[in-house]
Every structure is written in structure tokens, then in C-alpha cells.
Structure 1
Amino acid sequence: MPIRARLALFASLLLLLSTVFLTAAAFYVAREIINDQINLRLSVIANDRQKLLLAYVSQQHERVALVASRTRLRQLLADYQSGTSQQEAMLTGTRKILLDALDSTEGFLTVSITDPDGIIVTSTDTSMLDRDVSDTGAFQNGREEAYFSPPFFDGLQWRSTVSAPATASDQTHLGVAIVAIKIDRMVVYMSDYQGLGKTGEVLVGIPDAQGQFGYLFPPRHDSQLQQGRLANDVAMKKAIEGTRDFFTAKDYRGSETLVASAPLGYRDWGMIAKIDTREALAPITRLANWLVAMGGLTLLIGLVFAYVVARRVARPIRELTRSANLMATGEVSSDSRAFQFANDEVGDLAMAFATMRTQLAQQHDRLTQQAMMDRRQRESVEQLTTELKSSLESEQRSRQNVEQLLQGIRTAVDTLATATQNLKSVAATQVRTIQNQLVGVTETGSTVAEVTAAAQQTSQHASQVEQSSREAASIGQTGRGSIEQAKEAMHGVQSQFEETVTHVLSLAQRAQEIGSIIAVVNDIAEQTNVLALNAAVEASRAGEAGRGFAVVATEVKRLAQQSKESAQEIHRILTKTIHATQTSIESAERGHGAITVASDVIDDAAATIDRLAAIINDAATNASRILASTAQQASAMTQIQQAMGGVEQSSNDAMQASQDCDRAVLDLDRLGQELKQLMGATKPAPIGATADAGVPIGEKEKPGNQPSKSATD
């Protein structure tokens, strides 16, 4: 896989992991923030409903207790129970009091009084007289303290029963006051869904003796559940048990909801405020979709940017690799395409590599020219050697001729008496031949001298080639040192990058700690805001006396809002800082990957230079061998030159001998003439004797060419 593809893939994977991590982290943090906000909102709504309900129930308790504590009513009941008063008088007096209370108190439907045994003895509704209510919760719970019975719907309206004990001045139990009331305000409180969206609601649960429980009012989405028993409602069970919590649970519809549970504060009633998880986390869902879209777009942009950067980073490295491969195959000609990148470590490496390659190319050119000159000199030496061999063969043939001539002279001496004329001719021929041979030996000696000079020059060139090879090997070692320095520089840069990443990570950690502190400040501001809201509610209830406190609560709320806004502004700045820190970490990691790849390329270049140095060393060894061979050749040519000097000296000696022989032949010829004259004076010579004198030496053995007997004598 090309390095640019690997770099792009690495950067893409890193960007993908970063995007996924940041998206997941943002989703998680946003979900936690939304959960906290929902918890706060549900808790505030539940607290508000709790205060309203408790205030309403307490108000009804007070109203019914006020009716039961009327002095005239208690006196009439005490007289009736003690027997000092008749029932008619008691009914007349008590009904007047009860009707007055019914008319003067809004929301009362009927008012009844029981005796200590639970029998209604007086009532604004005469149909209820003498009814036994001893088994009802209103009577049983109202004997000791005021009691608000669970509401119910009578087909027309929502109503409830409130009871309170009626006691004499001596704390004697006289009975229970039971009042049926309309609870329209309570229904309005429980039907207020402001701030709860489309699925949120506040529910109040009441337990029964069997450990089950039902809802005080029908739920928002199912009006038939008021009388039902929902033992599997975990949220309401926790609220009835007195647990304050915020969690996720399934409601009566089977839908997953976010629930804030708390005890109502009245007997063992519980309250929950809930909202569907889907609706509550709808902003998170939209945020997740937006983050996924932005992450995909970021990934695409990052992929394109990573590919462009990787291609730009890998281009000089690819050119360096191509140049190194060409050098490995022996092609060291200059190529500047890989060396047009500067201002970074790769550019410095490329320039050093270019310098080394230029020097190697120049050295290669010098070696090539020197090799061509050596080849031409070898060809000249071979040609001269061939000519020398031809001259030596000619000289060998001449030597054989001389030997034959000497043999002929010996034969001629034996036949001196009869072959003086032939010897004279042969002596003249020998003189001319030796002169020609001497000329050839002289020319051969000159040629050998030139060949010797060429061999010495070849030896000098071979010595220069060897020196150039040694210089090339030294340059290769220098290039190796440059590569090592570049490698050390790259390692230094890599260490700096790692230290930078460590500092940036530490900065990101400090930013996260500041974010946690800001979250605490934001939470404190929210709680302060809630406290200010509650203080304002209490101040409004206090009326004129709480006006100053309301002003203080308003200022506290304004300060809490300013603290919240400041915390949000700090959080926004901190988010940008964390994002910039993360971007720096990503850039540093990409730079770290590029440096690692550049170090690998430097290692490959070092290996290539090592191989090139080995090749240059081999060339130096071969040049040394050529130098030794040329030295041997020059020594051999010197010996040949010395031998040719000996041959020339021998030829001069032979020439001198031939001249001496010629003089001797002349003397012999003269002597022969004198002998001939003497012989002629004594006896005329045969005709054939003179003719025999001109017979060539090579034909002396043929029949008819033998010297005559008279000549021999």
C-alpha cells in the first residue's frame, strides 16, 4: 500500500475514532445535563404541587376543626350525651350551627357529627341521621386528629370527606365532625400540566391495608385507573416508602419515563412527577442526529484534507525512493524532481541526497571516461602486441635463415676451392639481409618502447581510477554520516512532538477539571434560583409583612441568574479551549506519524547507501587489480624491450661478422683467382668449373651440380 494511502487511512481512522469519541462524550454529557435539568424541573414541579396540596389539606383540616371546636356545638353534644338535654333540642341547636357553618364556608356540601360510637347524631342532611359510619376511614382516623379522606368522583363532581375530633372542655371525646367537601381547587392543582409537555404529569398515590395502592386522581392518559390497584408501579412504591429519587421506570402504560419520586408529607401518601423519556430526551435525539451529521461531514472533510496532506508529505519521499531505486540499479544521473521541497527535514534530506547523487554522478562520469580510455589503451596494447608477435616471428625466420646461411658458409668453406664465386654472392646477399633485419629490429624496438610507455600510462590511469574509487567510497561514508545525522534529527523532532502532546493532554485534563467546577457552580446557581423562587412564594403568602423579604428573594434570584450566565459563558469558552486542545492533539499525532514514516525512509536510504558503498568498494578493488595487471604488463614490456635491445646488438654483431666474412670472401676470391690463375697457368680449367661457381647454395646437392674433380684437387 502506498505511503500516502497509509497516512490518509491512519488520519481517517484517527479522525473517525476522535469523532465517535467526541460524539459519544457530547451525547453522554448532554444527556446528563438534560437529566439534571429534567430532575430539577420535575422536583420543582413536585415541590410546588406538594406545597399546594399540603396547604389545601391543612386549610380543610383547619376549617373542619373550627366547626368541631365551636363552643355551643360542643355544649349541646355534651348535654345530649350526659342526658341533660333531649335529642330534639340537640338536633335543633346543632343543625342551626351546622347550617350556619355550611352557608359561611365555601366548598362544604354536608356537615355531620357522630357520637363516640360512630353513629351520626346530627347533620345538615337529615337522611344521614342514625347512620353507622364507625367502619369508615373518616371516623376511625378522625377520632384522634383531623383527617382528609381520599377523593372520589360521584358522577358529577370530585369530592372528599374531611373529619376532625369533637372534644369537650375537659378533653372528653364527644364524637367526630365529618364534612363532605368539593375539591375543585385540588383538581385544578393536579390538572395543571404546565412545564410537563405533552406526556408529563404529577400523580399522588395512596396505599391500602393490603399493601397495594392506587392513584389519588386518575392519570392524565388513563382515567380508569383511579380505583385500580397498581402494585407493580415501582416509582409510586418508592414515593410511598418515603424515597426521594430520580430514575427511569415504566409507567402504567408500559412507557419508559423519567420519574422524580418523593413522599407527599401527609400520612403515607406518595407523589411522583414524570415525563416520557422520548419527549424529555427529544433535544438529545436531535443533538445526536446533528452530531452524527456533523461528524460525517467532519470525517469527509478530514479524509480529503488527510489525503491531500499525506500526498504532499509522501511526494518527496516517493521521489527519494525512486531515486534510491535508480541508484541501486546503477543509474546515478542527476534528477532534480525529488529535490524541489524545502523548509522541513524531508527537504533537508532531499538536498543532502541530491548533493550525494550529484557527486556520485560526477564520479561515475569520471570512472566511465577513464574506463573508455583504458579500453582504448588496451586495444592499442593488443594491436602493438600483435605487431610485436609478427616482428618476432619475422626475426625468428631471419634467425633460421642466418642459421641456414651459417650452415651454407660452413659448407662453402668446405667447398671453398670450388665455390668462391658463389660464396661471394651469398656473402653480399647476407649483408643486405642482415641490414634489413637490423632495420626491422630497430623499428620493433621503437614499437616496444611506445607499448611500454602506453603500459606505464595505463598504469597511471589505473592508479587514478583506484584513487577515484577510494574517494567515491569516502563520499559514500560521508553520505552515511549525513543520513545518521538526519535520523538523529528526526528522533529529536519526534521527542519534541511527544513532549508537546503530553503538555496538551495535561492542558485538556485541567480544562475538564475546570468544567467540573463550573458544573458545580451552575448547580449551586440553580439551587439558589429554586430557593429564591420558594422564598418569593412564601413572601407572597406572607402578604405585606413579607414584602421586604420578597425584594431580597428577587435580588438573590437575579444574582443566581447572573452566576448561572457567567458559568455558562465560562463553560462556552472552556468548550472552545477543549476543542482547540483536541485539534492540537490530532495535529501532533499526525505530525508524529509523518515523522515515523520519514524515519523509516531515512533507514531505507541508509541501507541503499550501504549497498552503493559496497559497489564502490568492489570497483576500487577491481581498479587495484587493473593497476596490478598494468604494472605486470609494463614490466613484461620492459623485459621485451631489453630483449629487443639484445636482438639488435646480436644483429649488429651479425652485420659486423657478415662484413668481415665479405672481406674474407674477397680475400678468398682473390686467393681463388690467384689459385685459378695458378691452376690456369698449370692446367686450363674446365668450362664447367666456372659455371659451377654460380650455382646457388640451395642447389648444391642436386645431381649435376657437384664440383668437378679437377676443381676439388
Structure 2
Amino acid sequence: MANSIGKRILLGFSAVVVVLVALGVYALGQVGAVRDTTDAIVGRDIAMARLLDDLANKSRELGMLRRDAVIAYLSKSGQGGRPEDILPAWTRTAGDIENLLGDLTRSADSYRTSSRLPERAAIWKQLSDAGNESAGLFRELRPRAEGLFALITANDMAGVEARSAELNGRQATFIKSVANVRNVLDQSVIAGQRSITDLYDRTRLSIGLTLAACVILALLVTYIISRAVVRPLESVMAFAERVGGGDLTGRLEVRGSDEIERLARALNGMVVGLTDLARTNRAATADMTAAAAEIRASAQQQAASVEEQFAAVQETAATVDEITHSGAQIGARAAEVIATAQNTAQTSRSGLRATTDSAKAMDAIREQAEAVAGNIVSLSEKTQTIGEIITTVNDISERTHLLALNAAIEAAAAGESGRSFAVVASEMKLLADQAKGATAQVRTILSEIQRGINTSVMLTEEAVKRTTVGKARIDTAQRTIEETSARAEESVHTFQQIVASTNQQQLGIEQVMGALQNIRQASQQTAAGTREVETASANLTELAQTMTTLSERYRY
């Protein structure tokens, strides 16, 4: 048996988990068996039903083909029919029926040998016997039917009529046997449904019994855990409550070595320690009361001397504070001078940056002006090209005008037939006049553009010259501002050295003031400490009385 309560609980729950897992595996197995059995029963019944449906359809088709052949033969003498055309279809159908009967018996024998249920195996045996019976009837029916076709070929009408009547009876017997096989299959379906129901009931019963066993095991584990853990814990809690009430006379009984027994052993040791503590506490309380009285008297004497020392330190601190205030005013004035000098230097640096930016801007303006001049020169060259094009267009318009004049003369000479050509010549003359006028306007506009371009070139050159002059002036101003900024920086350094000396003096005064402050704070802390000691001694006296009361609470 395990000594640890944790191991006991783990063992109990492990058993429950194992049972639950086993139950789940068993239930899954039973459900799988039900499913497999159901699939097998339903699949076999459906396959056999389809086979029987095909067999019944082929049997009816075979009888219809035979009757059609007889009817065709009997009507042949009057209407000239061809019953021999039906023979190939009848032969194929007969072959299909033989194959279906063979499949029927083979499937029934296979299902009988692999069936899990005895009742289903017996039914499959009946189905195989019925199928064999139907196969025997068909083997008797087929040669008789083939003989009928031989009689038809021999044109034996009397034999055909006699054989046809006989085959009708045999056909009915064969179809009845097929129907009997279907009845046996219906019994198999009913037996399968009963088997599935029985298997489901058995599975549900077995799962229910296993679940009940699991519940009983869980209750048993709960009882064992309650007996091994809860009851010992209740006794330990009762003992702890008695100890909390001040009863140190009892002890717990220790029998084993599990967690609760170790807790009981620890509680017994704690009670022993509390008993010793209570005895020691009563003895120490009286000594503490006497010592608290002596400490209180000493603290009162020390408080009086500390108050005298604190008054002297206050007077010295007031004098040093006045010296510190004067030094602070000197430092403030020096700081203002440094701030003014720094502002001057900052202004100089700002002016220097501004002149530098202005110089860069003047260079950019000069470069842009030179680029504009280049663009204007290129534009002037393009206007000259346009002028040449306009000259060419003007020449074309003059030639067109001359051509139109000649066309008009030719049209006038042609008389009435040249009237339409005269209109065209007039339009060409008008178009030539318009083109000539347009070229004159464009030439005027180009002249104005050329004058504007020349003016722009002159202005751009003037702007470049002025930009160069402005750049030189800005360079001069930049050098002047650099000299001013350097002198301002020197002034700032000089004032900073003066302020550093003043700050060192002020620092020394502040150190003296800090030392006085520390002495004053130490005096205040000492006075507060003496008051706290006095209060602590009073509290110590009260604590001794309280401890006496608490120690009297325990019984041992």
C-alpha cells in the first residue's frame, strides 16, 4: 500500500480513468460491430434483391419473346411474318437468365459461409436451395423452348400450338419459383432486422452494465479517499482549532508516515514550541517592564540637552544663510551678463548663417539666369527657323495664286464646260490670298517675339552682372560677421570664467550651509529620536502588559 496520500488519490483516479478508457474502447468496438453487421446485412440484401429483380425481369422478357415468336408464326400464313428474327434475342435473354441463376446460387452459398448469425445462414441456405430449384426448372424449360423454335422452323403448326401450351405452364412454374426465391429473401431481410435489433439491445445492455461498474468503482474510490484523507484531516482540524483556542495540553496520535501523519507530527512539535514560548514569555515580560522604565527616564534627560544644542545651531545657520543670499545675487547678475553675451554670439551665428544662405541663393540665381539666357538663345534660333518656314509658305501661296489665275483663264476659255473649274480656281485664289495674309501676320508676330527675346537676353545679362556684384557684397558682410561672432565668443568665455570663480565661492558657502543644515537636521532627528524612544518605552511597557495577558491565555 502506498504511503503517500497523493499516490493513493492518483492510483484511485488512474483506476477510474483506465475503466473509462476501457469502456470507451469497448463501446467503440460494439458500435463498430453493429455498424459492420448492419452494412453487411443491408448490402447483401440489396445486392440479392437487385439480382432477383433482374432475374424476374429477364424471365418475363423471355416469356414475351417466346409468345411474340408464336404469334408471329401463327400470323405468318396470313401476313407473312418472320419469327426467326426473334430467336437471337431469346437466346441472349436465356443466357442472361442462366448467368443470373448461377450468380444467385454462388452469392447465397458465399453469404451462408461468411454469415455471423445462424438464423441468417439458414435463410441463405434456403435461398441457395430455392435458386438451385429455379435453375433446374429453367434447365428443363430452355430445351423445350428451343424445340418450339425448331417446330416453327419446320412449319409444324399443330406441334407449335401443343408445345406453346406446355411451355406456358412451365414458364408460369419457373416464374413462381423465382417469386418463391424473392419470398425467401424477404424472410432474410426480416431476420436481418431482428438480428440488428438484438445486437443493438445486447450492445446497449453491455455498455450500461460497464457504465454501472464504472460508477460503482468511482464510488468505491471516493469512499477509500474519504476514509484515508477526509477523516484524518477532520481530526487534525479539530486539534488545530483547540490549539487556536489556547489549549496546549493535547497531542495528536501519529501512526503512519503519509502527509497527514507528517502534518500531525509537525503540529505536535508546534504545540511543544508554543508551550516553551509561553513559559519563556512570562519570565521575560517582568524584565521588559523594568527596562522600559529605565529607558524612559534616560530619554527624557537626553531630550533636554538636544533642545539646547538645536537653539545654537539655529543662530549659526541664520548668519550663513544671509551670506549665501548675497552670493546668489552676485551669481544671478553674472548669469544675466553671460546670457546677454551668449545671445549676442547666437545673433552673430544666425547672421553668419543668413549671409551664407544668401550667398548660396545668389549663386543659384546666377546659375538660373545663365540657364534662362541659354534657353532664350535657343528660342531665338527656333524663331529664325520658323521665319524660314514662313518664307517658304509665302512662296507657295504666291505660286498657288499664279496657278489659280492661270486656271481661271483656262476656265474662261473653256466657256460653259469650264464653269466648275473656274469655281475651283476662285477658291484656290482665295485660299492663296488667305495663306499670304496669314504668313504676313505670323511674320509680324515673329518680329515682336524676336524683339522680346533680344530684350530678355539683355535683361538676363544685366541680372547676372548684378548677381555677381551682390555676391561680392555678401562675401564682405560674411567676413565682418565672422569677426564679430569670434569676438562675442571670446567675451562669453571671459564671463564664464568669472561666473565659474563666483560659483566656486558660492559652492563653498553652500557646503558650509549644508553642513549646518545637516547639524540642524541631526539635532532635530536626535530630538525626534529621544521623543520616539520615550514613546517606545511607554509602548514597550504596554506591550509587556499585553504579552503577559497573552501568555496567561495558554494552558499547559
TM-score, normalised relative to structure 2:
0.27
TM-score, normalised relative to structure 1:
0.22
Structure with higher strand content: 1
Structure with higher helix content: 2
Q: Report 1 or 2 for greater relative contact order, CA contacts < 8 Å, sequence distance ≥ 6.
A: 2
